[in-house]
Amino acid sequence: MTIWARNLDTGAVKWVYQLTPHDEWDYDAINEVILADQEIGGVKRKTAVHFDRNGFAYTLDRTNGELLVAEKYDPAVNWATKVDMDKSSKTYGRPLVVDKYSTEKNGEDTNTQGVCPAALGSKDEQPASFNPETGLFYVPTNHVCMDYEPFRVSYTAGQPYVGATLEMFPAGRVLGDKTDNTGNFIAWDARTGKIVWSDKEQFSVWSGTVTTAGGLAFYGTLEGYLKAVDLKTGKELYKFKTPSGIIGNVITYEHAGKQYVAVLSGVGGWAGIGLAAGLTKGNEGLGAVGNYASLSNYTALGGVLTVFALPN
């Protein structure tokens, strides 16, 4: 739940920032931290940008750990109202937790319902990317909420240590907006903390993304599409159906003077566990199966590298 800045040569801690103090929802901050130099409030800052599992995107000054921006990058996020940005406040830098969604306040044996995001986070380990020309971040996201019921548990070395059951479902069920998509591919302005555009995806976007100088962002979908969209508008310009769901990272490279784009397909991971492990019931796979139950209608298991060459 914490970002650590350490001296490369000595390992000494320079600063720390705790994203979800006393985590009650499994929002451990395992995601990447992207370094980008950006102008914020007229000042050029060396920033570190992090899209946390907890649904907030953080922009920090990486030289000293100062918190510059912390905003929700999925409007569904409800476990906290905001991150306190008031430097004179006692709770400065902390998320302001909503009691109704506090699994600790509700306590053992109580099923806390409709918490957004789900334990898999508004984004999990699939990396976002930064495009220096637009100044925006291109972020693969999950649009998923959960019910979370803790129960008493005790630690024994070498044995399972699980203290909650959970079930996940599309965020639309909590928002009441009749949507059932579980993902969005978004462009994010980390200087202001705002979504610039958002493309709905039926399933969580579980691939890494890449952008090019040609003005394109690439990502993959759980149904198996590799997509190219316009960096400025998000308009879909190209898609290709690979043999299996994409949870790999799209890459681009040059060889013998020609540019290529490549991606590994092969569904799996938390979102794809139902399909990969043959599970079918909602609570299985730590609650992921129900949410992605229809995935098997769209893709199959696989493991293929698909490479695209740019035309001459």
As annotated, the active-site residues are: 26
Q: Which of 16, 153, 300, 304 binds another protein (CB under 8 A)?
A: 153
Stretch that binds another protein, among 148-156, 180-188, 198-206, 258-266 (CB under 8 A): 148-156
Count the Cβ atoms, other than its own, within 10 Å of residue 103. Answer: 21
Token pair 């290529």 is found at: 260
Work out whether 284 is an interface residue with another protein (CB under 8 A).
yes
Instruction: Report, in Å, the least distance between residue 53 CB and another protein.
Output: 21
Part in contact with another protein (CB under 8 A); list of ranges 170-178, 204-212, 257-265, 275-283: 275-283
Q: How far is the CB of 154 from another protein (least distance, A)?
A: 4
95 exposure class (CB count in 10 Å sphere: 0-12, 13-18, 19+) = buried
Among the listed ranges 25-33, 80-88, 125-133, 162-170, the one in contact with another protein (CB under 8 A) is 162-170
Question: Dihedral of CA 29/287/297/279: which sign?
Answer: positive
List binders of another protein among 164-223 (CB under 8 A): 165, 167
Query: If we measure between CA atoms, which residue out of 288, 293, 298 comes closest to residue 117?
Result: 288
> Minimum CB separation from another protein for residue 242, in Å?
28
Among 44, 87, 152, 178, binds another protein (CB under 8 A): 152
Question: Exactly one of 10, 88, 156, 312 binds another protein (CB under 8 A); which one?
Answer: 156
Of 22-30, 47-55, 68-76, 156-164, the segment contacting another protein by CB under 8 A is: 156-164
Amino acid (1-letter code) at residue 227: K
Cβ closer to another protein: 170 or 274? 274
Residue 109 interacts with another protein (CB under 8 A): yes or no: yes
Question: In whole angstroms, how far apart are CA 266 and each of 206, 207, 208?
Answer: 11, 11, 14
Q: Is 107 in the site for another protein (CB under 8 A)?
A: no
163 Cβ contact list (under 8 Å, min separation 6): 150, 151, 152, 153
Dist. CA 291–CA 180, nearest whole Å: 10
Judged by beta carbon, residue 12 or residue 157, the one nearer another protein is 157
The nearest distance, CB 272 to another protein, in angstroms, is 16
Which one among 22, 46, 92, 161 touches another protein, defined by CB under 8 A?
161
Q: How far apart are CA 166 and CA 183, in angstroms?
A: 19
Give the up-direction half-sphere exposure of residue 292: CA atoms within 13 A in the CB hemisphere: 37
CB 309, min distance to another protein, A: 41
Instruction: Decide: helix, strand or coil at residue 248.
Output: coil
Question: Closest approach of Cβ 292 to another protein, in Å?
Answer: 15
Q: Is 132 in the site for another protein (CB under 8 A)?
A: no
Continuous H helices in the chain: 103-106, 172-175, 273-277, 288-291
User: Is 159 one of the binding residues for another protein (CB under 8 A)?
Assistant: yes
DSSP conformation class of 208: B
Of 205, 222, 210, nearest in space to 260 by CA:
210
Which residues lie near another protein (CB under 8 A)?
109, 149, 151-154, 156, 159-163, 165, 167, 279-285
